[in-house]
Amino acid sequence: MTSEQTFIAIKPDGVQRGLVGDIISRFEKRGYKLVAIKMVTPGKAHLEKHYEDLKDKPFFPGLVSYMNSGPIAAMVWEGREVVKVGRLILGATNPLASAPGTIRFDYAIDVGRNVCHGSDAVDSAKKEIKLWFKDDEITNWTSAQQSWVY
């Protein structure tokens, strides 16, 4: 079985609105495995690095200040095609364009308050996991449920 990991973050609005449990539940129920989780307020420099590809966008300063406005629930999820499927579970970046049943459709109406982040490719997932987590914060465990999923 080929498996991969992705970085999923519940942004400050998602944390403040009490959506952490629901978002975790959606990934768990789909069959994905949570291998790292922590609450962090990483600061401006870290967030600027995370979003460095967007530094020339007009919304960049607002994005960094939004992300810096409270704790973030940072997670690493593992499983088959979890990068691509993780993005599907989150929904389109702009909640108004997202499909019903996705997190962003169910909980958001503004692109600047879109509740969650998910890595957009396997390579960026690897970079983001390295930026947000130390190696020893990522657990290597076998889920007893796995044989029922795969």
Binding residues for ATP: 11, 59, 87, 93, 104, 114
Total residue length of the chain: 150
Q: How far is the CB of 141 from ligand RTP (least distance, A)?
A: 26
Query: Which of 3, 25, 40, 59 is the binder for ligand RTP (CB under 6 A)?
Result: 59
Is 117 an active-site residue?
yes
**Binding footprint of ligand RTP, residue count (CB under 6 A):** 10
Query: Which of 74, 118, 125, 132 is the binder for ligand RTP (CB under 6 A)?
Result: 118
Rounded Cα distance, 58 and 20, in Å: 29
User: Which of 35, 74, 117, 128 is labelled catalytic?
Assistant: 117
End-to-end CA distance of the chain: 9
3-state SS track over 40-109: ECCCHHHHHHHCHHHCCCCCHHHHHHHHCCCCEEEEEEEECCHHHHHHHHHCCCCHHHCCCCCHHHHHCC
Residue positions forming the annotated binding site: 11, 59, 87, 93, 104, 114
Q: Which residues bind ligand RTP (CB under 6 A)?
A: 54, 59, 63, 93, 111-112, 114, 117-118, 120
